[in-house]
Amino acid sequence: MAEVQEFGATMPIMPEISRFLGIVISMPFSDHEPPHFHARYGDHKISVGILDGRVTGQFPRRARALVLEWRADHEVELLENWNRARGRRPLVPIAPLE
**Residue of 28, 37, 32, 33 lying closest to 74 (CA atoms):** 37
- How much is the pLDDT for 1? 43
- Cβ(94)–Cβ(74) below 8 Å: yes
Report the chain's mean pLDDT, rounded to a whole number.
89
Q: Count CB atoms within 10 A of the CB of residue 88.
A: 13
**Higher pLDDT among residues 14 and 33, named by residue:** 33
Mean pLDDT value across residues 61-83: 98
Which tens digits make up the pLDDT trace of 15-29? 999 999 999 999 988
Task: Give the residue extent of every domain in the chain.
Answer: 14-86
Up-side HSE of residue 29: CA atoms within 13 Å toward CB? 16
pLDDT band of residue 98 (cuts 50, 70, 90) is confident
Which tens digits make up the pLDDT trace of 43-56? 999 999 999 999 99
**Residue of 46, 47, 40 lying closest to 23 (CA atoms):** 40
